[in-house]
Homo-oligomer: A and B are copies of this chain.
Amino acid sequence: MTPVPADPQETPVPPRAPGPAAPPVLEGRGLHYAYDDGGGPAVAGADLAVGPGGLLAVLGPNGGGKTTLLRLLSGGLVPDRGEVLLDGARPPAGRQGRDLLRRRVQMVYQDPDDQLFSATVGQDVSFGPLNLGLPAAQVRERVEWALDALGVTSLADRPTHLLSYGQRKRVVLAGAMALLPGVLLLDEPTAGLDPAGVAGLVATLDGLRDRGTALVVSTHDLDLVHGWADRALVLDRTVLASGPVREVLADTALLSRARLRPAWGPAVGRVLRAGGLLPADAPDPSSPRDLDRLHPR
């Protein structure tokens, strides 16, 4: 793996994920936003924080405001009330603050086709660094690093429209990572991916977390985040719950209220422990394969 390229203009990305005591990279306080269409607030008073290498899952039904919340955090929307803090400080007002936010926080949308607009993979990944006005050598270094981090180096010269859906998702992620953000906001990153694609993406994202990138992931797939995220926030316009992911997922009544389907893992773990099939201190199974190991056929 090539080393993270140096960026003289900003705090370097910490090399490893520090403990939970690390101060948050990105915080939202009392975020509130209503669209112009008279449909009431899309997000009403959300508080959240994510530290380096952390993974915060934003859970909620369709139309619950997950995408809006991510757009508020990315600076794509300006909150009606509340504020976004970067590395514990309020970014300066106006253009300068927006630039800073965009440099440190990158959002990746659900549909990769909305984010690819160059002829080849390499050109597309270089779009962000070129816009920053970096010298060519540095741009090249960053592009190589990002392609490598996402495991798509071999695709560099391929036209984007000939890639598979999963490959396009990775290229979009590489384009965001080439800006060396401290935080990645991922909107439904696994939507449309098959199980193999999901597994590959999770492994890649874990690699980025190991390097210190904080992740905020919106999803309604609780099986995905159980055993993967550190913390979870349940959003249905207002924040219904927030805390360590296992605690949030254990509250099935709350999940029902948010029109979410409980994850299998905690439910299975509970039944198995109650029946004495799993030691009281063992973690919940995180996939059906764990059950196979528990009880080989």
Q: A22 interface residue, CB < 8 Å from B?
A: no
Return the contact of A193 from the options B62, B196, B274 (Cβ within 8 A): B62
Which of A11-19, A81-89, A127-135, A257-265 touches B? A257-265
Q: What size tier do the contact residues of chain A reach?
A: 35 or more
Known contacts A262-B288, A288-B262, A61 near B267 by CB under 8 Å: no
Residues on B with C-beta less than 8 A from A194 are: 61-62, 220, 259-260
Interchain nearest-CB distance for A158 vs B (Å):
14
Copies of this protein in the complex: 2
Residues on B with C-beta less than 8 A from A270 are: 291, 295, 297
Q: Tell me if A263 and B277 are in contact (CB < 8 A).
A: no
* Distance A194 CA – B259 CA, assembled complex (angstroms): 8
Give the 3 A-B CB pairs with smallest separation, nearest first.
A195-B261, A267-B288, A196-B259
- Subset of 8 A-B contacts with CB under 8 Å: A62-B192, A191-B191, A195-B261, A262-B289, A263-B288, A264-B264, A264-B268, A271-B291
Chain A: residues with CB nearer than 8 A to chain B? 61-63, 164-166, 188, 191-199, 220, 223, 252, 259-264, 266-268, 270-272, 274-277, 287-289, 291-292, 294-295, 297
